Amino acid sequence: MVKDVSYKKHAINYDVLFTIQQPNNIQFGTNAASNYSYPTNCLLITSQGAKSRGWIKYIKGDNFQLFDVVEPNPTIESAEYIISKCKKEQFSHVIGIGGGSSLDVAKFVGFKLKKRKILIPTTFGSGSEVTRIAVLTVNGKKTSFHDEQMFADIAIVDPYFVKNTPFEIIKNSAVDACAQCTEGYDSKSSNEYTKFLCEKAFNILEDALMNERYENLPFGSLIAGLGFGNCSTTLGHALSYVFSNEGYSHGHALSFTTLYAHRFNNSKFYHRFSNLVKKLNFSKINLKQNLGEAADLILTDRKHLDNNPKQVNKQDIISLLEEINVDNSV
């Protein structure tokens, strides 16, 4: 008889209380978005080009009220504009379809209007479809809004949208998911549940990117969202926003800021994340803002920095920004 000693390899700490939060209904699979029976009176929020890409036709949404005005790094003014135009309309659901920006706006609008939310990602990196977080730009600064009422009532993850997606979008989205789950694993707010999901997610995402099995990205991104959405990202995300403010895409910025943050934190994911960045061949990023001023702004991001596994001060941040600007090869 073989004795099971697996519990001795990793003892579960039952003394640490944690709470798991996620959408009540997650639908995953081929044609999940096309086959779903949507309510007839819906507000559909997305970006320009949704029609030309065939997304609206795919979900049979031609009769929905359409707002296709979401821009990358959306501002709170964009969300408030939609709210002001629609607050008297008699629709039952807000549908968000698109990348993380469209989903975040849809979540915020649905939350403010107290409508049910259906979220359908077309890129696979933000995990927004399964988190209670909406990121909007407020006074030029990316700001995270957190509330349990921002969870999707239904999240629909359909691998259909990977097809015909340009590689630049695939890699920028996927590296975002990789940053989220590896930072989430290292976060002070992580627990047994989130560590399990975050590590599993990174294994799936890493394999998909290194071996060009992109059809597996939707599942990896979903698992990453469920993992980091129940803890927090850390230093890499805190560093990234000043680069996004200068026009770099979120994923492009994270490819370097999370890499250098992992080295600073002595993360077990550092070398694997480095190999991913090299494989994806991201171009150099360079911050034009005064580094001291940038560091002061980054230091206000207490949610990310307080959850970082190592304490971070202003000089640490300036040094990291200098290294990112000068070298970009670690």
- Encoded tokens for 293: 């001023």
- Per-residue model confidence as pLDDT tens digits over 116-129: 999 999 999 999 99
Q: Can you tell me the mean pLDDT for 65-82?
A: 93
Domains 26-165 and 168-326 share a fold: no
pLDDT of amino acid 114: 95
pLDDT of amino acid 90: 85
Burial class, 266, CB count within 10 angstroms (exposed 0-12 / middle 13-18 / buried 19+): exposed
**In this predicted model, which residue has the larger pLDDT, 107 or 142?**
107
pLDDT of amino acid 6: 43
- Per-residue model confidence as pLDDT tens digits over 74-89: 999 999 999 999 888 8
pLDDT of amino acid 83: 95
pLDDT of amino acid 10: 67
pLDDT of amino acid 14: 77
**What proportion of the chain, given as a percentage, has pLDDT over 70?**
96
Write the CA distances from 206 to 178, 202, 216, integer angstroms. 8, 6, 10
Q: Can you tell me the mean pLDDT for 207-220?
A: 96
Domain assignments of the chain as residue spans, ordered by start? 26-165, 168-326
**Chain mean position to CA 234:** 13
pLDDT-based confidence at residue 220 (cuts at 50, 70, 90): very high
Q: Can you tell me the mean pLDDT for 91-102?
A: 95
pLDDT-based confidence at residue 143 (cuts at 50, 70, 90): confident
Look at residue 17 and tell me whether its pLDDT is greater than 90: no
pLDDT-based confidence at residue 50 (cuts at 50, 70, 90): very high
Q: Can you tell me the mean pLDDT for 297-321?
A: 97
CATH architecture of 168-326: Up-down Bundle (1.20)
Please state, rounded to an integer, the average pLDDT across all residues of the chain. 93
- Return d(Cα 148, Cα 50) in angstroms, integer: 28
**What proportion of the chain, given as a percentage, has pLDDT over 90?**
85
- Per-residue model confidence as pLDDT tens digits over 177-191: 999 999 999 999 999
- Return d(Cα 75, Cα 158) in angstroms, integer: 27
Identify whether the C-beta of residue 255 lies closer than 8 Å to the C-beta of residue 280.
Answer: yes
pLDDT of amino acid 330: 58
Look at residue 234 and tell me whether its pLDDT is greater than 60: yes
pLDDT of amino acid 328: 55
Q: Can you tell me the mean pLDDT for 147-155?
A: 96
Q: Can you tell me the mean pLDDT for 258-267?
A: 98
Number of residues written out for the chain: 330
Q: Can you tell me the mean pLDDT for 246-264?
A: 96
* Count of Cβ atoms closer than 10 Å to residue 299 Cβ: 14
Fold of 26-165: Rossmann fold (3.40.50)
Identify whether the C-beta of residue 227 lies closer than 8 Å to the C-beta of residue 201.
Answer: yes
pLDDT of amino acid 7: 42
DSSP type of residue 284: P
**In this predicted model, which residue has the larger pLDDT, 5 or 96?**
96
Q: Can you tell me the mean pLDDT for 46-69?
A: 92
pLDDT of amino acid 88: 85
